[in-house]
C-alpha cells in the first residue's frame, strides 16, 4: 500500500508536501488534489513513470498526459512557440482549470508529446498542488485520478481504491475540488479549437480569443 498523507491545513510548507515531492524526485507516482479534480502524476524528468500512469488508468498509452506547472512563466519554457493570443488566456484564466495545447519545446520528452509534436500545459490554481510541483523541482505529467472511462472526482473518497493502491504516495485533502473537468484549448493549430469544455465555458474562452482580427472559433472535434 502507498503512503497516504492527510493534508490537515492549506499550508504550502507542510511536511506532507515535502515528503510527496521527495517521492516525485525519486521517480514515483503521486495522487494529489487540484482545484477541479484529483490528479495522478509523475515528474516530467521521469517519462517512464509518467507512461506508467496510462497503464494504471487502463487507458491507451498513446493518449497524451497533461503537464501540470506551478507558474504561468513555465509555459514559455515547455512550449516551442507561444501564439500572442495565449497571453490573453493566461491573463484571464490562469492559474486555473484551463489546459493549453502548444508546440512542445525540446526539453519535453518525446514519450510525453501529443499528436503533431505538442504538449498540453495546465497551471493549477490550488496552492498546495502548486507547492508540490515547486518542491518537486519539475512539472508533473499527469491526468485525473480515475480509471479510463470512469468519472473524475474532486473528493478523496471518490477515488478508486485500487488506483490508490497502485500509486507510490497519496495526498489526501478531502473534498478539495469542484469535480469539473479542465477545459482544453488547442493553440497549436489554426484556427484555434476548444477541444474539451469543462470548468471554463467555451463561450468564456471565445470571448477572450475573439479579438480585433476577427478570429472565429472552429467547431470542436470532440
Q: What is the pLDDT along the chain (222 residues), one digit of tens a residue?
A: 788 999 977 888 999 999 999 999 999 999 999 999 999 999 999 999 988 999 999 999 888 999 999 999 999 999 999 999 999 999 999 999 999 999 999 999 999 999 999 999 999 999 999 999 999 999 999 999 999 999 999 999 999 999 999 999 999 999 988 999 999 999 998 889 999 999 999 999 999 998 544 444 443 332
Residue 94 phi/psi, 5-degree rounding, is: -110, 145
- Name beta bridge partners: 141: 42, 67
pLDDT at site 222: 27
Angle between helices 202-209 and 85-93 (to 10 degrees): 130
Specify the pTM: 0.92
Tell me the three state secondary structure of residue 209. helix
State the residue for C-alpha cell 510548507: 13
Q: Residue ranges of the domains in the chain?
A: 3-209
3-209 folds as DHBP synthase (3.90.870)
Judging by DSSP bridges, how do beta strands 140-144 and 39-43 pair with one another?
Answer: antiparallel
Cell of 203: 463561450
| Angstrom distance (rounded) from CA 65 to CA 62 | 9
Q: What secondary structure letter does DSSP report for 178?
A: -
pLDDT at site 190: 86
Amino acid at each position: 500500500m502507498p503512503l497516504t498523507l492527510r493534508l490537515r491545513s492549506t499550508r504550502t510548507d507542510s511536511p506532507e508536501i515535502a515528503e510527496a515531492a521527495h517521492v516525485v524526485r525519486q521517480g514515483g507516482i503521486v495522487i494529489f488534489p487540484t482545484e477541479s479534480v484529483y490528479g495522478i502524476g509523475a515528474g516530467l524528468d521521469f517519462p517512464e513513470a509518467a507512461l506508467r500512469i496510462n497503464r494504471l488508468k487502463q487507458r491507451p498509452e498513446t493518449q497524451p498526459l497533461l503537464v501540470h506547472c506551478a507558474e504561468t512563466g513555465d509555459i514559455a519554457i515547455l512550449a516551442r512557440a507561444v501564439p500572442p493570443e495565449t497571453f490573453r488566456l493566461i491573463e484571464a484564466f490562469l492559474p486555473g482549470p484551463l489546459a493549453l495545447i502548444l508546440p512542445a519545446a525540446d526539453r519535453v520528452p518525446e514519450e510525453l508529446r501529443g499528436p503533431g509534436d505538442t504538449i498540453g500545459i495546465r497551471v493549477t490554481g490550488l496552492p498546495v498542488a502548486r507547492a508540490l510541483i515547486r518542491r518537486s523541482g519539475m512539472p508533473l505529467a499527469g491526468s485525473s485520478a480515475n480509471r479510463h472511462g470512469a468519472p473524475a472526482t474532486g473528493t478523496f473518497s471518490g477515488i478508486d481504491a485500487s488506483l490508490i493502491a497502485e500509486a507510490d504516495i497519496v495526498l489526501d485533502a478531502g473534498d478539495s475540488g469542484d469535480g469539473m473537468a479542465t477545459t482544453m484549448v488547442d493553440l497549436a493549430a489554426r484556427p484555434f479549437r476548444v477541444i474539451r469544455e469543462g470548468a471554463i465555458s467555451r463561450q468564456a474562452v471565445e470571448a477572450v480569443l475573439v479579438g480585433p482580427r476577427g478570429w472565429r472559433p472552429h467547431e470542436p472535434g470532440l
